[in-house]
Structure 1
Amino acid sequence: MDIERYQNLIPNVFLFVDRRCFPDWEIIKQTIDFHDLTFVLEGRSYYYVNGERLTVEAGDMLYIAEGSLREAHTCKESPMHSYAFNFQWMSDEKLNLPFDTVTKFPLTAELLNYIREFNHVWMSKQPGYAMQARGLFQLILHRLLTIASHQSPQTLSDSRIAKVKNYIVDHYSEEIDIAHLARLVNLNPVYLGKLFKLNTNRTFKEFLNDVRVNNAEMMLSAGGFTVSEVAERCGFKDISYFSNVFKGIKGYPPSHVGR
């Protein structure tokens, strides 16, 4: 699954509900002109999507695409509690998200924090809330798409890898090796290398070079620095190596930036 095809989509959440169903709760049968993304925290409900009966319960993520025929009612003995987002794309794009209608998806602490923060922003409706809410929802979608692309929510929630990535972003201009990073998270360097690749689909060195080259490109675009100065400031001691790495990642040499 290619995340890149989704990165220019901008969602407009027009309805968000911290849904605590009463026993007779239901959604009447109708074709929806929006996308429904629902996270079930407790209880159980029965959805009918394009004629298919589906049971959703705690730990499930429900995704119903625009244009679907939707109907639902909750289980009277165990009413559902869920967070539901109804949204449309802020363009004429008809692209659906690459999720099954029902996915077993225990909420990670990170995702739950994003959703709860979204809830606070949405309910308070302070000036600029729509922009802030949209940004939080994009973070939620990014995390979901990342998980879908790796097919491994457990590895992606590994706080040790997050700590290593943050350290690299903050210290990319310095000398960084896998042994030093391993000490930061109390892991064997070989094991950390394998875990990093499993989580990010890139080696530690590839990730480091991506961060360095992206920062180098920004500096060159802003002007005021020579290629040699930028290479040194971004952690490259050899300008020839820097040029080769830059071209390998960007497809053009650093000397062409800003032309």
Structure 2
Amino acid sequence: MDISAYADIVPDIFLFVDRRSFPDWEIIRQEINFHDLTFIVGGKADYYVNGKKYTAEKGDLIYVPPGSIREANTYKENPMHSYAFNFWLSPSNDLHLPFQTVTRSFVPVEVIGYVKEFAQVWMTKQRGYEIQARGLFLLILHRLLSVALLRGGSVQTDDRIAKVRAYIAEHYMDNLNLDTVASLVGLHPVYISKLFKQDTNYSFKQFLNLIRVNNAEMMLKAGGFTVSEVAERCGYDDISYFSNVFKSVKGYSPSTVLKKV
């Protein structure tokens, strides 16, 4: 796959849903003329695409291209929570993205950070939000396409690394290190470090900082916290170190975000 084939795409997002499904939620069977990209962050659902059944759950990515016949329903005992994007692509809506219908255990944490930021922008609808929303969605697509390119067109991931990523996402505020996550999957710290880099294109420390900083930025944008309070809640004891890491990841200081709230 050549990522340059997607260099000119411009997404036109007409629907975004933070979908917290009721037990009887369903999508009625119909042919769609748009792209459906859905991130499952909780629960479970069955999707039927062109007559084939796919079961998706937490951590999975769903992609249904235009021209597909789609239907879905959630599990009553475990309703799905997802973020769903419905969009058209210019200059050609016929250009399909190189993702499987359901990709197991693949929701990069930094992507979820972008998705949550997108949700804030989309729901508040401040003046000019369309530009910011489109930019964030392009960041999401770029990350997914980059991973697909690194893996030869497949967005498959090592189940052990998926487990580590999920653990980091839930415990990023704790004192995490390679020994902790290595014991989680029964591997040597040196080996898990190598696997992690191959799978995510980030070192363990880079990935952890990325998650912490994304969550810190969301907390600062939400308001109600000082920079030092956010630093502590995101796993940093030293506010100076937190500020340096934040700036190295984002290109601007945490206090800059706070001033805009």
Into which bin does the TM-score normalised by the smaller protein fall?
A: 0.5 to 0.7
Alignment partner, residue 149 of structure 1? 149
Contact 1:59 1:105 (8 Å CA) reproduced:
yes
| TM, length-normalised to structure 1 | 0.60
Note the residue ranges of structure 1 that are not aligned, 5 or more in a row: 163-259
Instruction: Say if 2:212 is the partner of 1:158.
Output: no
- Structure 1 segment 1-259 matched on structure 2, within 5 A: 1-151=1-151, 154-158=199-203
> Residue by residue, what CA displacement relative to the aligned partner does 1:160-208 show, whole Å, maximum 9, x if unpaired?
678xxxxxxxxxxxxxxxxxxxxxxxxxxxxxxxxxxxxxxxxxxxxxx
- Within 2, Cα distance between the matches of 1:108 and 1:33? 27
**1:157 to partner: Cα distance:** 3.7
What CA distance in whole angstroms lies between the structure 1 residues aligned with 2:107 and 2:92? 31
2:8 touches 2:91 (CA, 8 Å); kept in 1? no
Aligned-residue CA RMSD (Å): 1.9
Rounded Cα–Cα distance in structure 1 between residues aligned with 2:91 and 2:121? 24
1:104 deviates by 1.3
CA shift at 1:94, angstroms?
Answer: 1.2
Give me the whole-angstrom Cα distance separating, in 1, the residues matched to 2:112 and 2:118: 10
> Per-residue deviation at 1:67?
0.7
Flag structure 2 segments of 5+ consecutive residues without an equivalent.
158-198, 208-261
Match of 1:84, SS state, is strand
Kindly provide the amino acid, as one letter, of the partner of residue 120 in structure 1: Q
SS state at 1:82 partner: strand
* 1:28 aligned partner, one-letter code: I
One-letter amino acid of the counterpart of residue 61, structure 2: M
Distance 1:19 1:143 in 2: 22
For the residue of structure 1 that corresponds to 2:132, the secondary structure is helix
C-alpha separation between the residues in 2 aligned to 1:54 and 1:119?
26
CA drift at 1:105: 3.4
Given that residues 33 and 67 in structure 2 are in contact (C-alpha distance below 8 angstroms), is that contact kept between their aligned partners in structure 1?
A: yes
Q: Which SS does the other structure have where 2:97 is aligned? A: coil
Q: Which amino acid aligns with 1:105?
A: S
C-alpha distance in 2 between matches for 1:156 and 1:111: 14
- TM-score, with normalisation over the residues of structure 2? 0.59
Q: Which moved more, 1:41-50 or 1:89-98?
A: 89-98
Give me the identity figure in percent: 54
Distance 1:113 1:30 in 2: 31
Contact 2:19 2:81 in 1 (8 A): yes
After superposition, give the CA deviation of every residue in 1:55-102 in whole Å (9 maximum; x if it has no partner).
111111000001100001101110000000001013334100001100
Aligned length: 163
How far, CA to CA, are the matches of 2:36 and 2:93 in structure 1? 16
State the partner residue of 1:207: none
C-alpha distance 157-16 of structure 1, shift in aligned 2 (>3 A): farther
1:108 and 1:157 in contact (8 A); partners too: no
Q: Which amino acid aligns with 1:53?
A: K
Checking the alignment, whether the CA contact within 8 Å between 1:40 and 1:57 is kept in structure 2 is yes
Question: What's 1:224 paired with?
Answer: none
